[in-house]
Amino acid sequence: MPPGPLKVCLVSDIYYPHPGGISEHIYHLAQHLRQRGHTVKILTADYGDNKGYDHPDIFRVGRAIPVPANKSTGMITIGRNLSEEIKGILDRERFDVIHMHGPIAPTLPFLVLLHSQATNVATFHAAHEDSTGYALFGPILQGYFEKLHGLIAVSPVARDSIAKYFPGDYRLIPNGIDTARFHLGIEPLEKFEDGSPTILFVGRLESRKGIRHLLQAFPYVWERIPKVRLVVVGPGKARTLYRYLTNSQVRERILFEGLVPAKDLPRYYASCDVFCSPATGQESFGIVLLEAMACGKALVASDIPGYRCVVTHGEDGMLVPPRSPKRLAVMLSKVLSDKALRERLGAQGRRKAEQYSWSRIAQQVEEYYLDVMARRGR
């Protein structure tokens, strides 16, 4: 018998318009939980210019400010009377489940937990080897952790990263993929339909995403395949990377597209022959890998723990050691030169991606909510 409708609040400092995997995760989880009959609100920070992401089901509080975190840029929420504002929202809405996304830290989820009377669940997305913050402030944050009734990790890597500081019974529920948005048969972008073999990168242009290693590898690929093209999609200091990490011979074959409209992103995947994600580490899962796989594209990615959760080397993708431009170039050249290999990897990848459809993932999350609530006698 299906469960009665729940009233759920998804909480995170990070949400649109800030791009990235957590924003994607929260958006799709909310959509699919609603399709299953639940009422879902999102509590997040105000980014100032929210670019069309304001909605009656989104509560924005305080102000988001960027902070360096895990070799990337995270966000924290600050504001006058922030705690009182959050308490007012929770008292008025009376949620059944409050579902936090993000680290254990004195940020927005922390303040929500201070005032929550609901069943509290947290999903941990990050992968890291060590955390100075957790090592120093673990005893202070322990009280926060103890208010969580349910623990989710998106991968074994994410689970192990957090569990060595905060042991617990973590449920593994992976990220999902919108298999209706990313699928076979999407029309490529006309500007790329000139027959040039195309490598695609999608991600923020920051060190841990490994873009510099791909730029260093590209000239070696170009020597073997002179018509090859590299398309780079994502926000960041593209021109600086372009100037210092590429030589004049290949610059015209590298296109920095910046942050593209969401509606166009699937067409970028459809326009490539090989998708490449050369991340150096601190990746817990790899949503971009699933996006490429869902579009039936062969992929070459770094052999890091978070990516091994998604890709089986030689079956649905090819993995190479991180920070190895020449080995990356060799593998890219091999895949670009072998149509049969590309087609086999793409077909296997699509089958793998279907296992991560958001309809399946939302059902797992719903079942976990009910398990946790039953244990609490709710």
CATH classification of the domain holding 21: 3.40.50.2000
The lowest-confidence range among 101-110, 156-165, 245-254, 272-281 is 101-110
| 283 and 259 assigned to the same domain | yes
pLDDT at position 50 is: 85
As for how many domains the chain has, the answer is 2
Task: Inform me whether the pLDDT recorded for 239 exceeds 80.
Answer: no
Is residue 201 in a domain? yes
Residue 272 forms part of a structural domain: yes
pLDDT computed for residue 106 by the predictor: 67
**Domain coverage including residue 83:** 7-176+357-375
pLDDT given for residue 69 in this prediction: 65
Within-domain flag for 262: yes
Top pLDDT among 125 and 198 is at: 198
CA distances for 109 relative to 91, 112, 268, angstroms: 16, 5, 35
Assess whether pLDDT exceeds 80 at residue 159. Answer: yes
- In this structure, the answer to whether residues 105 and 212 fall within a common structural domain is no
> Is the previous residue joined to 17 through a cis bond, with omega within 30 degrees of 0?
yes
> Residue 339 burial by CB count (10 A; 0-12/13-18/19+): exposed, middle or buried?
exposed
Residues 348 and 236 in one domain: yes
What is the band of 284 on the pLDDT scale with cuts at 50, 70, 90?
A: confident
2, pLDDT greater than 60: no
pLDDT of residue 233: 95
User: What phi and psi, each to the nearest 5 degrees, are found at residue 24?
Assistant: -60, -45
Q: What pLDDT digit, counting tens, does each position of 32-91 carry?
A: 999 999 999 999 999 998 878 889 999 999 999 988 765 566 788 999 999 999 999 999
Residue among 213, 268, 211 nearest 237 (CA)? 211
Spell out where 176-325 has E strands.
Answer: 198-202, 229-233, 254-258, 274-277, 298-302, 318-320
Q: What is the pLDDT of residue 67?
A: 82
Any idea which of 18-22, 43-47, 217-221 has the lowest mean pLDDT?
Answer: 18-22
Confidence of residue 243 (pLDDT cuts 50, 70, 90): low
Per-residue pLDDT, 282: 81
Q: For 102-136, write each residue's pLDDT tens digit.
A: 866 668 998 999 999 999 999 999 877 666 666 66
Q: What's the mean per-residue pLDDT of the chain?
A: 91
Do residues 253 and 171 share a domain?
no
Span 149-175, average pLDDT: 93
| pLDDT tens figures, 290-335 | 999 999 999 999 999 999 989 999 999 999 999 999 999 999 999 9
In a domain, 184, yes or no: no
Q: Which residues contact 306 (CB under 8 A, 6 or more apart)?
A: 127, 155, 157, 158, 279, 281, 282, 283, 284, 285, 286
Cβ contacts of residue 322 below 8 Å, gap of 6+?
210, 213, 278, 279, 280, 281, 302, 303, 304
Residues 335, 301: Cα–Cα separation, whole Å: 12
Q: Are residues 211 and 200 in the same domain?
A: yes
pLDDT value of residue 144: 83
Residue 284 and residue 255 share a domain: yes
Residues 13 and 81 placed together within one structural domain of the fold = yes
pLDDT value, residue 245: 73
On whether both 200 and 320 belong to a single domain, the answer is yes
Q: Which amino acid is at 330?
A: V
Alpha-carbon span 365 to 378, nearest angstrom: 17
203 part of a folded domain: yes
**Residue 181 included in any domain:** no
2 within a domain of the structure (yes/no): no
Residues 310 and 371 in one domain: no
Of residues 140 and 214, which shows the higher confidence score?
A: 214
336 and 362 fall within a common domain: no
183 belongs to a structural domain: no
Are residues 137 and 271 located together in one domain of the fold?
no
Q: What is the pLDDT of residue 1?
A: 40
Whether the pLDDT of residue 259 is over 50: the answer is yes
Q: Let me know whether 112 and 196 are in one domain.
A: no
